[in-house]
Amino acid sequence: MKKISIIAIIALLTLGSFAFPWPPKWRKAKEDTAIKIGLNIGDTAPELAFKDPNGKIRKLSDLKGKIVLIDFWASWCGPCRRENPNVVSAYNKYNKVKFKSAKGFEVFSVSLDRNKANWVNAIAQDGLIWDNHVSDLLFWSSEAAKIYSVNSIPMSYLIDENGVIIGKNLRGDNLHIAIDKLLK
């Protein structure tokens, strides 16, 4: 009798798995809407977490809710230094404005420097007044540059309040035009 009940239980479990497949359909739906992390417009920007000049870890994800310009640059890069006044202008213009669905604008500066003193001096000289400056001081071997496939600078990514890439390599007026489209 025990043998029959064990066989019956196994049969019921086997049949039950066809009637009630695992994982449930609602689990499958969640998997289908998974967030795509990548470097294309429409992808969620990969996380960055590196030290600032004072040794504090700054995370890109801490800026969620804001429009963010991820700006790859270096103190030794002439084109970067010439673009810095435009980035400062964008920061000053948009930092406190009302966006359709974001709470302000921030810059997340990623330096490809290898000399901390040069990096810190360039921040001061160029008036880069925002708080989010990071670098691992590994020059072209920078982990952030690897994550974002940066092989030339200046390079930038504009991300929305949800961390989704909405623009790439925006400079000069094109940066302002892209940000203007997000205003109330």
Condensed to tens digits (0 to 9), the pLDDT of residues 101-135 reads: 999 999 999 999 999 999 999 999 999 999 999 99
Structure tokens at 177: 């035009």
pLDDT value at residue 53: 98
Q: What percent of the chain stands above pLDDT 90?
A: 80
Question: What is the model's pLDDT at position 164?
Answer: 98
How sure is the predictor about 28, in pLDDT bands with cuts at 50, 70 and 90?
very low
Instruction: State the pLDDT confidence band at 34, using cuts at 50, 70 and 90.
Output: confident
Q: CATH says 49-180 is which class?
A: alpha beta
Q: Which of 173, 143, 179 is nearest to 158 (CA)?
A: 179
In 3D space, the residue among 65, 55, 34 whose CA is nearest the CA of residue 159 turns out to be 65
pLDDT at residue 24 above 90? Answer: no
DSSP string, the chain: -HHHHHHHHHHHHHHHHHHS-SS-HHHHHHHHT---BSSSTTSBPPP-EEE-TTS-EEEGGGGTTSEEEEEEE-TT-HHHHHHHHHHHHHHHHHTTPPBSS-S-EEEEEEE--S-HHHHHHHHHHTT--SS-EE--S-GGG-HHHHHTT--SSSEEEEE-TTSBEEEES--THHHHHHHHTTB-
Q: What is the model's pLDDT at position 35?
A: 82
**Which part of the chain has CATH 3.40.30.10?**
49-180
